[in-house]
Amino acid sequence: MNRAKDAIFVAQALLDELGADACRIAAERAAALVRDGDTTDAHFWSQVAAAARVLSASPRPQLPPARRRQIMVQDRQFRQSFKVSPNAYLLLTSDLVIADANPAYMKATMTTEEIRGYGLFEIFPDNPAAPEANAVLNLRGSLERVLRTGKADLMAVQRYDVRGLDRLFEERWWEPSNCPIPNDDGRPELILHHVRDVTAHASPAIRI
């Protein structure tokens, strides 16, 4: 996958949902990654910020919601980008059922294609050994905000443990974001859920 093309795809999605804030948010994420020592993802988000600046300076026709949905969901290029992206993406329906997951997401969460069609929190429940994490509560709140407002929601770093192949929970820390994909009426029909595993960079202060 050409990461430059992937950066343009992400920049376009951020501009559609966040407008002028897209450049700032992408640049802030790049800076945070530099501080974490993650130079590979920092470079990618720097590309996103640069692409957002270029795209925001170019006149863009306002497409009707039906056309935006066609571009985002049904368009072959989106599907291909979704599939081969090195970034972890999950598509959710408005009732929080898993519609699709790309290979990067399944690798990060130690899951398979069999998660499709199940409720999100059936597959990813809270770890009963870490009740203080409030993982399900926090993620559900973010997703409900996206459905209610129709705007993207960028979450703070979260502890959300996942089950390994042995079905035992493993500690994981994530940087999640959720973006709506509208239907013909402009209401969120799907949610594009993105996570970045920051377990290796989570500070002791966060872990407490």
- Structural domain for 49, as ranges: 1-60
What's the pLDDT score for residue 147? 94
Closest CA to 14 of 41, 50, 65, 40: 50
What's the pLDDT score for residue 14? 74
Residue bearing the bigger pLDDT, 29 or 91 = 91
Q: To 10 degrees, the CA torsion angle through 139, 140, 143, 148? A: -140
Cα–Cα distance measured from residue 174 to residue 117, given in angstroms and rounded to the nearest whole number? 23
Tens of pLDDT, residues 128-168: 998 788 899 999 999 999 999 988 999 999 999 999 888 89
The residue from 39, 60, 81 where one domain ends is 60
Counting the structural domains of the chain, the total is: 2
- Domain CATH number, residue 98: 3.30.450.20
| 3-state SS assignment for residue 182 | strand
What's the whole-number average pLDDT of the chain? 81
In terms of residues, how long is the chain?
208
Tens of pLDDT, residues 168-183: 999 999 999 999 888 7
pLDDT band at residue 80 under the 50/70/90 scheme: confident
Contacts of 60 (CB under 8 A, 6+ apart): none
Same structural domain for residues 189 and 87?
A: yes
Same structural domain for residues 75 and 110?
A: yes
Span 85-92, average pLDDT: 90
Residue bearing the bigger pLDDT, 74 or 78 = 78
According to DSSP H, which parts of the chain are helical?
3-18, 21-36, 39-57, 65-69, 76-84, 103-109, 120-123, 135-149, 204-207
